[in-house]
Amino acid sequence: MSEKGLKVPPFPFMVPGILSLLLALWAGVSRLPWALPGGEALVPLHGALMVGGFLGTVIAVERAAALGRLWTWVAPLCTGLGTLVMLGALGIKPAGPDLPIRAGAFMLMIGGAVYAASSLLIYRIQKSLFNIVIGLGGVAFFLANLLLLLGFAVWAIIPLWAAFLVLTISGERLELNRLLAPRPADLVPFHLALVLMFAGLAAWLFMGTELGSCLWGSSMILLALWLLIKDIARKTVKMTGVTRYVAVCLLSGYVWLLISGILNLLHPGATAGPPYDAIWHALFVGFVLSMIFGHAPIIVPALTGIMVEFRPVFYVPLVLLHASLAMRIGGDLLNLMLLRRVGGLVNALVVLLFVVILRMSLRRLP
């Protein structure tokens, strides 16, 4: 059997990613702070677990399954296991910048490099703007993990992690929006948003976080408005069933991307504290998790051959996600820490609720 014809089961690669998600939620609740066993030790790895270990693995699995090349599975293997190695041979107790931390960061970097290479391969197969955008997201993921290996602080790395996810999602939406046959003029704001994004990333790393925040925030505002106006979800939201549900997830996620951009302009240069929490959780929870909630009923059958039976109950975790995130960000901005803590706790519980509903909706295809 040729390498391209080799069928690799995706589930074993997903297991470390799912474990990373659970640990990331545990660490996230602990940093609010809620007193959870072992949570305080996990807090420094919250971002690496969520973005590198979970989201990076899920996206890399999807990419490897689509390409059907054996070497592309190195990406989810390394990202999934890398964060677990950082925990110290699966003992939930990170020990600072010692061997387990560096070894895990090295694996994340290798996973990012292979993912970026697979994105380049896709562009070579099909040269298009959306594949360029997705490929740039892969490069951002690799650079973020490289900086993690080099010992950079999380606040310095987080815009690159965010760029990985924003570019990947935007590229995929751009691909689907070809159905609307956009004119070249329609893409001008999208191109401008990309220019501002890369300028913001460069400024954040080399010229200061305040300028970087302003440029990055402006790019997120422009991109969110473009998606809200031009995305095909504006039309599919008028349909029924899972199609409408996906569109509602997308459009509500774009609103949180817009809010994150506005918060960057209102609190430029924030690298800690409640404004920092509000800025990045509006993006990672409001925008990214909304995308995951919306795409899961489509991606799970494509990867596993197991159908997801859509039910209206899927709207429950989506509504709770937005309501609890509004509580959390309101607590951040109004300095109401109890509101922030409760909202953050419900954020984590809602993710678990969504996983339970998804699992209960699985039906084996004939």
- Predicted confidence band at 365 (pLDDT cuts at 50, 70, 90)? low
pLDDT tens digits for range 219-256: 999 999 999 999 999 999 999 899 999 999 999 999 99
pLDDT tens digits for range 82-138: 988 887 734 545 444 567 788 889 999 999 999 999 998 988 888 888 899 999 999
Q: What percent of the chain has pLDDT over 70?
A: 94
HEC assignment per residue over the chain:
CCCCCCCCCCHHHHHHHHHHHHHHHHHHHHCCCCCCCCHHHHHHHHHHHHHHHHHHHHHHHHHHHHHCCHHHHHHHHHHHHHHHHHCCCCCCCCCCCCHHHHHHHHHHHHHHHHHHHHHHHHHHHCCCHHHHHHHHHHHHHHHHHHHHHCCCCHHHHHHHHHHHHHHHHHHHHHHHHHHHCCCHHHHHHHHHHHHHHHHHHHHHHHCCHHHHHHHHHHHHHHHHHHHHHHCCHHHHCCCCHHHHHHHHHHHHHHHHHHHHHHHHHHCCCCCCHHHHHHHHHHHHHHHHHHHHHHHHHHHHHHHHCEEECCCHHHHHHHHHHHHHHHHHHHHHHHCCHHHHHHHHHHHHHHHHHHHHHHHHCEEECC
pLDDT tens digits for range 145-202: 999 999 899 999 999 999 999 999 999 998 887 767 678 888 899 999 999 999 999 9
Query: For residue 233, how far is the Cα from the chain centroid?
Result: 19
Domain boundaries, the chain: 1-181, 186-366
- Predicted confidence band at 292 (pLDDT cuts at 50, 70, 90)? very high
Mean pLDDT of 198-217: 93
Q: Residue 252 has what pLDDT? A: 97
pLDDT tens digits for range 39-78: 888 888 899 999 999 999 999 999 998 888 999 999 999 9
Q: Residue 190 has what pLDDT? A: 93
Torsional sign, CA 107, 155, 118, 149:
negative
- Predicted confidence band at 1 (pLDDT cuts at 50, 70, 90)? very low
Q: Residue 274 has what pLDDT? A: 94
N- to C-terminal Cα separation, the chain: 26
